[in-house]
Amino acid sequence: MEIKIIDKSDWVSYQKLRLTALKVAHEAFGSTYEREVQFTEQQIIERISPNSNKFFMGIFDERELIGVVSFHREVGQKDRHKGNIYGMFVHEDCQGKGLGKLLLSTLINKVKKDYPDLEQIRLSVVSNNTLGRKLYSNLGFEKYGVEINALKEGDEYFDEDLMVLFLK
């Protein structure tokens, strides 16, 4: 297993895993398979290319990307003390092996090192995602609210638990 920052050379692996995530856990993401399957190579590369305020981190089993998560720091003058985690997913064949915890704890450690003035990391998780909520709680995230009807797919709504990890 290797955990690393994803860059433009990983765009094919990223897109393959992202489309899988949008199929198998469609209720957990704000986007859709139908939308993202149309993304061009350039759009994907622009999305995943790291900069001073964002990066995508992946866990690889040999050359295969099996898990991904992204971090985005807020850029506004008054909210630069906050960052957000988006798009957490581990391939269903690899779940239950501690890889999500390893990936996310590696991301948190990188954020602490690279953004020493950051005070909190936020995320949202679909309220019925028991395993996801448990993972985040085990890593120190605390629930601070619920967004009712946060996502809508067809006629079905999904609430999201809002969680935060205080770094200071």
| 81-129 tens-digit pLDDT | 999 999 999 998 888 888 999 999 999 999 999 999 999 999 999 999 9
CATH number assigned to the domain comprising residue 76: 3.40.630.30
pTM above 0.75, yes or no: yes
Residue 53 lies in a domain: yes
* C-alpha span between 21 and 2 (Å, rounded): 20
Between CA 9 and CA 34 the distance in angstroms is 24
In the chain, the number of structural domains is 1
**In this structure, is residue 30 part of a structural domain?**
yes
Which residues, in sequence order, are CB contacts of 35 under 8 Å at separation 6+?
none
User: Which residues on adjacent β-strands are paired with residue 73?
Assistant: 83
- What's the token pair of residue 158? 């999904």
- Residue 90: which domain range? 2-124
